[in-house]
Structure 1
Amino acid sequence: MKTPNDPGTIDLMTGRLLLGYARVSTDAQELAGQRDELHAAGCTRIYAEKITGTQRNRPELARLLDHLRPGDVVTVTRLDRLARSTRDLLDIAERIQEAGAGLRSLAEPWADTTTPAGRMVLTMFAGLAEFERTLIIDRTRTGREAAKAKGVKFGPRPTLSADQAAHARRLIDQEGHTVKEVADLLGVHRSTLYRALEKKETTQ
């Protein structure tokens, strides 16, 4: 008889442990549908959570990945239940592969890394993701160089203008306010005010 702490069902044909992962984005959504599909696919140990996919901290997914053993298979109903983006999917798939385990999606059979075809598809995706990343870096570099050629300066803008710094100096020197009081008045941190005052003094 299966106990609540039983880690999962072993596929008798392959000896693999079948693990499921289910996720919904809000409390208003239900996990029952995903659980039913995963149970039907042979998964009796299911890690499930209600959390938006945009959040990096997904405790149940982390638990699943930490407990993977060689030969295990992680099953999801759809890939968007598992990952936030292509890059995220590839990172998770890599962690699963490093554990010697496999990944499969019920809705996307081409994403089955337990088969040579599925592994090839994800390898192609990894190449495309790297290619896209290179293009973005190149476009960003080209844009920055063109902007610099036109006199655009990059870097953080000063929080306080020269006029604000001059006003702050008058409040401190002539009206006797403390640096903390002036910083609070201007809505900045004291260190920001100190930097603005020092910069004004060096430019005078």
Structure 2
Amino acid sequence: MARIGYARVSTADQSLTAQQAQLTAAGCEVLYSDVMTGSVASRPEWDACRKALRAGDELVITRLDRAGRNLKHLLEINEELDEKGVTLKVLDLAIDTSTASGLFAMHLAGAFAQLERATISERTKIAMAGRARGRNGGRPKALSPKSLSRAQDLYDAGNLTVKEIAAAVGVSQATLYRSLAKNGARGSST
């Protein structure tokens, strides 16, 4: 029986080091690593890893999404491993498919991971549609352009203290100073 580890990152600017250290600490004798998206079913090192697996071996990954990106793909992988007599261990979720509860946990975790990705994608599409309509999102400005102009005029007049001006436009003194400075306001440094 061999314990074989597989690590994957999506882009070259990400590091495999942490995953490889976890797999080595988990007792993996052989490590395979890819630098490419998990949405691609065929990856060079992933394919070599699966080919090297023999009955009785354990395939160890750090997270479930390192092997596949959706539930269907994860189930296909698990079926392939099961037919070969190979168990899958997922370190972060303590999943071990050699047990019924581990197999159930893998299915459940895969379904939640797919739901999370779909939710993120949905929110991104909504935000992009909002941007196309001119909405940038985020927190609204503390001072509207009209209030900022009024605050600048009051500040320039010199009849009120900063505390009084801030109260008049409904912001804190710090927000007033910041807004005046960002706006390149006249005399905001005093």
TM superposition score category, shorter chain reference = 0.5 to 0.7
- The reply on whether 1:98 has 2:83 as its aligned counterpart is yes
Structure 1 residue 116: deviation in Å? 2.9
How many residues in Structure 1 have an aligned counterpart in Structure 2? 112
Measured after TM superposition, the shift of residue 85 of structure 1 is: 0.6
Give the fraction of aligned pairs with identical amino acids, expressed as a percent: 39
Task: Give the TM-score normalised by the residue count of structure 2.
Answer: 0.54
Unaligned runs of 5+ in 2: 112-190
Matching residue of 1:86: 71
Equivalent residue, structure 2, for 1:76: 61
Query: What stretches of structure 1 move > 6 A for 4+ residues in a row?
Result: 123-126
Q: Deviations along 1:181-200, whole A, 9 cap, x unmatched?
A: xxxxxxxxxxxxxxxxxxxx
| Structure 1: gaps of 5 or more residues | 1-15, 129-204
Contact 1:21-1:61 within 8 A present in 2 as well: yes
Q: Does residue 50 of structure 1 match 2:1? A: no
Aligned-residue offset at 1:119? 2.6
Q: Determine which of 41, 62, 67 is the counterpart of 2:47.
A: 62
Superposition CA RMSD, Å: 2.2
TM-score (norm 1): 0.51
Q: Is this contact kept in 2: 1:20–1:75, CA < 8 A?
A: yes
Relative to 1, partners in 2 of residues 1:23 and 1:105: Cα closer, same or farther, differing over 3 Å?
A: same
How far apart in 2 are the matches of 1:123 and 1:31? 26
**What amino acid is aligned across from residue 101 of structure 2 in structure 1?**
A
TM-superposed deviation, 1:32: 0.6
Q: Which residue of 2 aligns with 1:114?
A: 98
Paired position in structure 1 for 2:127: none
1:135-194 alpha-carbon deviations (Å, 9 max, x no partner): xxxxxxxxxxxxxxxxxxxxxxxxxxxxxxxxxxxxxxxxxxxxxxxxxxxxxxxxxxxx
How far apart in 1 are the matches of 2:19 and 2:108? 28
Deviations 1:60-117 (A, max 9, x none): 11111112111000000000111111111111111111100100100111x3112232
Label 1:123 to 1:57 Cα distance change in 2 as closer, same or farther (>3 A). Answer: closer
